[in-house]
Structure 1
Amino acid sequence: MEVVDDSWTLVLHLTNSAVGVGILALPFCFAKCGFLLGTVVLLFCAHVTKVSCRLVMASCRSTKSLGFQGSARMTIGSFGCLIIEILNACFLFGSMVAFLNVAGNLSLSLIFDHWDVRSKDGISFFYVVAVFIFATFIALPLSLYATVRLLGQLSFIAFGAYALLVVHLAATALPTLKSSDGITLALWRPEGVLFVLPIFSGALLMQPQLSVVVDDVQRHGSSLLDAVGLALGVCCCLYFCVAFFGYVSYQDRVQGDILLSLEKGRSAWLIRFAFLVSLAVSYPLMLFPCRLAILGALEQLSVLSLPETLPFSGKHSRPPVTCWGVTTFAIVFLSALLAVVSPNVEFILGLCGSLAGSAIGYILPALVYLCAYDAQDWYRRFEATLCLIYGLSMMLVSTIVVFELEIPQAGMLISSSDNSATTTINAPAPVDDAATSATTFTFAREAINATLSLIRSNSSGRPNENGL
């Protein structure tokens, strides 16, 4: 596999790999937790991601390894390297499921003026056909034959789609902002933070792609960290624009996939088509590291005996063609199958970010760093400890919230007559204090109770009903 050495090309790869379909759920996230609180959470997740990437590079430098997997092998052992491979594959696989979920929706919306993805009796037959056609005739050939350099050149298509979306949402939101009549924006909804936190974190996660777009993490050093910081800045600006303008345009009517909220017209059709093309380009960028992680895990389990092809070896030559092709077929069609049965994209992103994303993005980088570095660098160890606590907390609490929160099948935000957490611009509405307290602390109370029950069950040695 080819690697990337140019700094700007590296920034382009990291940005395109991180953005993905998470950008489509951000207006929904702003509606869930509020405009101001959503901005704070976005910046916080960007900072934690940069800290985590710095820990990964410091671990590689300390252990003189060629990648994060090699650093884990030297500090935690073969079992730690196996866990990283499995979690890396799970996170990337979940992202690919979300890609195909959105691709199926977009394919139908391009053909039909108005389409409900799911019928009343279950999954729409045409949605299933659209997902498997996209997976078979577009995603699979690109995953088998495209190179990283070619996909990097095609990444400009994805950025063009993002730019079109921002311009369209801004044009839709500006008349509403100018009139300022009837604009109701939620500024602070803390009850939605636990649900949107894994989506924000997963949308900014860049650690799984580092071993693919660079040949040697240790050799690049500070230049790689600068590229990560610049890519995070680009992602944050892009995310904020889409989230703000999308939330202003549709307010609490925004859907989990913002493309499903766009009104009919040529511009909306063009944006959907551009995003469909960008999904075709971005899907292989997720599949490449996922395929390497799966092959690495199989080799760790002694299921396969492969040449030096894996990220921890620092080489990127292909394994046997048969193994390469079978793995690619399995990944593509399994992701298509899960995309068919998954409820919606926000559930996929939330679950993927809270489980595999928190582990591969924050918990394991912190653990590897704490095992690799000495006790003299107390500030970095303090950062690693905070990163570890954050990852464990997000994995525990946010996963419970994602499973317990009721999300409409088509992704429509649950409407409520309670305006307690909403600040109305130029039109303040009366607030019910009792409803405010109940609505504001519902998620926090449920999360705390669930956490306490987990602690009691673990201390008593009996597994709870979720098997945690």
Structure 2
Amino acid sequence: MSTDKIMAEYNVKVVVTKKNQRNANESPFLKREVAHPTSDIETLIHLAKGSLGTGVLAMPFAFSNAGLALGLIGTIFIGFVCTHCVHIMVKSAQELCWRHNIPALDFGDIAETAFKNGPQSLRPASGFARGFIQTLIVVVALGACCVYIVFVSSNLQQVIDFFTGTTIDIKLYILMVTAVLMALAMIRNLRLLSPFSLLSNVLFLASIGIVFYYVFQDLPSVNEREAFMSITKLPVFFSTAVFALEGITVVMPLENNMKTPQHFTGCFRVLNTAMAMIVSIYALVGFMGYLKYGDEVEGSISLNLPEGEIPAQTAQIMLAAAVAFTYPLQFYCAMEFTWPSLDKFLQRKVPKISGLLGEYIYRVLLVLLTMAIALAIPNLSALMGLIGAVCLSTVGLMFPAIVETIVYWEDWGWGNWKLVKNILIFLFGLLGFVTGLYTSILDLIASFGGGEEKALLLL
């Protein structure tokens, strides 16, 4: 039976297709060779940790650029769109696995396979699509690692400087933090990272509880805060919220490492369960944090906690530890996308440093790279905005819409409502990309001492 006919029946009547055309015993997922596969619970923990990080603490800052009402509506809307994009990405990947009898696909494989088997005019671009998306994924993962270094360093700096009465440059803290993260980055097994992710989640939720303790004290009236901000501030809200909510970079590595990848999507399964919790927490932190601190809110609300109070300092230390334990998960994603190809190259050109030795050397170099970027741009809000606007709007919004359209193009054709939906998602991501990039560049220039007026003149 042709692929077109199989897909037509698949779309119309899933149950019949699963029974008659796609025998579970012949599933390509059964051919996966995973040394240490993760369970549904372990995958849920990793997904929650991959998405529930420094971004949630930046949500009050995001709300300060949107207002209470618009921030709440926008957070829920962006969370819904991001979750939907993860769904269609995983669905498209699994469909390609079925069609071509492939056990697993990473982001580069998805792009190349979709373009190679899509409309005739797109097939020559398959190689470019693979390289482009892999580059963006690596930039997102390493960019998140840079944010983590700056976040941990900033919180430790505030606590240590207060209790010691010193004023130490944040760059020295970045060097010290990197030394610890270097050890965590040497962990090669995703399953061995599960205890770190679990501990990180516990520390993070405990510290969020302490943050709420301070936030809920002496709350002002909602009438004292803006409900809707100027449209000129919305790009900052968008880029920060997308950075916070978009955990798509960890999705395919986690799905590929599952014992039962079929359980990743579904109404009450891994993805929806994790994202429902994440979006709820983000919306609550953003709303209450902005209500409490207003325009004085920092890039991370943890930096607004009162100095000298033990619970506040404990929360900052726990947050620093939680984010530090998240670093190796994002780092794992960057390694997954870059090391296999590099290892093959080294085996051909420099066999002495290929294999395990070469991998450890490469891990050290990548950690040093994230440290160098953190040293160059120790501005938390600017880093998050830039990554969210440029990379995550592309990878998390535009790319899934393009891939699903190509994979199901023969079944849809022009005029299909799903095609219209994907065009709207693409335009939404493109708008966020352009406006977010512009405002992030302004923020970066200003952070280097240029000032807002000078930044505008330069642009």
Asked if Structure 1 and Structure 2 have the same fold, meaning a TM-score greater than 0.5 normalized by the shorter chain, the answer is yes
More deviation in 367-376 or 41-50?
Answer: 367-376
For 2:65 and 2:36, the matched residues in 1 are separated by: 39
Summarize the alignment of residues 165-176 of structure 1 with structure 2, pairs less than 5 Å apart: 165-176=207-218
In 2, Cα distance between the equivalents of 1:391 and 1:297?
A: 30
| Separation of aligned partners in 1, 2:197 and 2:155 | 19
| Partner of residue 354, structure 1 | 389
* Paired letter, 2:75: L
The equivalent of 2:121 in structure 1 is none
Please state whether the residue corresponding to 1:224 is helix, strand or coil: coil
TM-superposed CA distance for 1:69, in Å, is 2.7
Letter in structure 1 aligned against 2:227: L
- Cα shift at 1:25: 1.2
Same amino acid, percent of matched pairs? 17
Secondary structure (helix, strand or coil) at the match of 1:246 reads helix
Cα deviation 1:17-49 (Å, max 9, x = unaligned): 012211221111111211111111111111111
Cα deviation for residue 125 of structure 1 reads 5.9
Q: 1:428 is matched with which residue?
A: none
Contact 1:194–1:397 (CA<8 Å) still a contact in 2?
Answer: yes
Aligned to 1:27: 60
Aligned residue in 2 for 1:274:
318
- Tell me how far apart the structure 2 counterparts of residues 116 and 381 of structure 1 sit (CA, whole Å): 60
1:187 aligns to what SS in structure 2? coil
TM-score under structure 2 normalisation? Answer: 0.77
1:366 to 401, 415, 431: 401
Greater mean alpha carbon deviation, residues 383-392 or residues 373-382: 373-382
More displaced stretch, 201-210 vs 289-298? 289-298
Q: Does structure 1 residue 205 correspond to structure 2 residue 246? A: yes
State the secondary structure of the residue aligned to 2:306. Answer: coil
Q: Tell whether the 8 Å contact from 1:85 to 1:296 is kept in structure 2 after alignment.
A: no
Matches of residues 25-104 of structure 1 in structure 2 within 5 Å?
Answer: 25-64=58-97, 65=102, 66-67=104-105, 68-76=107-115, 77-104=126-153
For 1:89 and 1:2, locate their aligned partners in 2 and report how far apart those are by CA, in whole Å: 23
Structure 2 CA distance, aligned partners of 1:297 and 1:195? 36
Alpha-carbon distance in 2 for matches of 1:286, 1:25 = 18
CA offsets 1:78-132 (integer angstroms, 9 cap, x no match): 2211111110000111111110011111222232217999xxxxxx864222111
- 1:288 aligned to 2:332? yes
Judge conservation of contact 2:152–2:323 (CA < 8 Å) in 1: yes
Q: CA deviation at 1:134?
A: 1.2
1:387 aligns with 2:420: no
Change (3 A) 1:382 1:4: farther
1:186 maps onto 2:226 in alignment: yes
Cα RMSD after superposing both structures: 3.1
Unaligned runs of 5+ in 1: 118-123, 307-318, 415-445, 447-464
Q: Is the 8 A contact 1:169 1:242 kept in 2?
A: no
What is the distance in 2 between the residues matched to 1:404 and 1:298?
36
How much does 1:182 deviate?
9.7
Supply the distance in 2 between the matched residues of 1:59 and 1:219 (Cα, whole angstroms): 17
Distance 2:346 2:112 in 1: 18
Do structure 1's residue 403 and structure 2's residue 445 form an aligned pair?
no
Alpha-carbon distance in 1 for matches of 2:403, 2:280: 31
Q: Name the residue aligned to 1:460.
A: none
Per-residue deviation, 1:75: 2.2
Contact 2:57 2:302 (C-alpha < 8 Å) held by counterparts: yes
Q: 1:256 corresponds to which residue?
A: 299
Residues 370/255 of structure 1: CA separation in 2 closer, same or farther (3 Å cut): same
The residue identity in structure 1 corresponding to 2:47 is L
Structure 1 residues 347 and 296, CA, compared in 2 at 3 Å: closer, same or farther? farther
Code of the residue aligned with 1:147 in structure 2: it is N
Tell me whether 146-155 or 233-242 shows the greater mean CA deviation: 146-155
List per-residue Cα deviations over 1:261-314 (Å, max 9, x = no partner). 110210011111111211221000000011122235657xx85558xxxxxxxx
Q: Which stretch of the first structure deviates more once superposed, 180-189 or 386-395?
A: 180-189
Letter in 1 for 2:184: L
> In the TM superposition, what whole-angstrom CA distance separates every residue of 1:336-366 from its partner, at most 9, and x where no partner exists?
1111221411110110011111121122222
- Cα 1:169–1:217 change in 2 (3 A) is closer
2:120 paired residue number = none
Q: Distance in 2 between matches of 1:348 and 1:28?
A: 14
Determine the C-alpha separation between the residues in 2 that align with 1:289 and 1:409: 29
* 8 Å Cα contact 1:2-1:148 kept in structure 2: no
AA aligned to 1:22 is G
Question: Does the CA contact (< 8 Å) of 1:101 and 1:131 recur in 2?
Answer: yes
Paired AA for residue 358 in structure 2: C
What TM-score does the superposition give when structure 1 sets the normalisation length? Answer: 0.76
Work out which of the residue numbers 105, 127, 130 in structure 1 matches 2:173. Answer: 130
3-state SS in 2 of match to 1:293:
helix
- More moved, 352-361 vs 216-225: 216-225
SS in 2 for 1:94: helix
- Cα pair 1:2 1:149 within 8 Å, conserved: no
2:197 equivalent to 1:148: no
Paired residue secondary structure (1:263): coil
- Please, which moves more after superposition, 244-253 or 357-366? 244-253
Separation in 1, partners of 2:336, 2:57: 27
Residue pairs, 1:109-120, within 5 angstroms: 109-113=158-162
Which has more helix, going by share of residues?
2
Q: Pairwise mapping of residues 211-360 of structure 1 onto structure 2 (< 5 A)?
A: 211-215=252-256, 220-221=261-262, 223-225=264-266, 226-264=269-307, 265-295=309-339, 298=342, 303-304=345-346, 320-360=355-395
1:363 and 1:183 map into 2 onto residues whose CA distance is 37
